[in-house]
Amino acid sequence: METHVFGQNRIVLQNYREALVRELDQVKTSPDDFYLIIDLPSKQIHLKSQGNMLRMCPILNMSPIEERHTQNYNFINRIDPISVEPGNANLRFRGRLFPLDFSGRLIEGPRHHSRLYFAPHFVIRADGISTGTTPHITLSPLDIKALGSALRPGNIAIFIPHAEANH
């Protein structure tokens, strides 16, 4: 029994080592970008920049994820359901002279029920939002809003799988 547990610990340590190498590469190549560490063994997602943790998000639930190795996911897009005018995203000022447009901020930007889409085929979503059969991780609505505010298309998420997935 000890060898099985030791073997899993060794695999987990190898996965963390690979994630650290990927994170160091991310910090060197894009030092000002935000990125995520999706840590399945500890059931947490970390929002980071320049190696500093900015937010820790506990994973509430997840679908079975078959990924066996530490790898990078690329953030593709944020979907904000029930958007009033999706064509007006980031056009808050539209000729207005107000230095602060509070009503524009209320209708634009991430929401508590936004979905964050990554490639390859993966979604981070709020609790209670359906994504069908797409592999997903569920976070609290406040965490979804925070991550949706920070991430831009092209940002990465470093995925660390469970040790059991390597067997």
> What pLDDT is recorded for position 121?
86
Q: What is the mean pLDDT of each run of 10 residues along the chain (167 residues)?
A: 51 90 94 94 94 94 82 90 54 51 50 83 81 85 89 94 64
> What pLDDT is recorded for position 6?
45
> What pLDDT is recorded for position 68?
78
> What pLDDT is recorded for position 5?
43
Burial (CB count within 10 angstroms: exposed 0-12, middle 13-18, buried 19+), residue 91: exposed
> What pLDDT is recorded for position 20?
94
Query: What domains, with CATH codes, occur in the chain?
Result: 2-166 (2.40.440.10)
Collapsing DSSP to helix, strand or coil, 76 comes out as: strand
Cis before 141 (ω within 30): no
> What pLDDT is recorded for position 134?
82
> What pLDDT is recorded for position 70?
92
Question: β-strand 71-79 against 115-119: which pairing, if any?
Answer: antiparallel
Collapsing DSSP to helix, strand or coil, 52 comes out as: strand
Biggest CA–CA distance in the chain, Å, is 70
> What pLDDT is recorded for position 92?
53
Burial (CB count within 10 angstroms: exposed 0-12, middle 13-18, buried 19+), residue 154: exposed
Looking up tokens 């995203």 gives 89
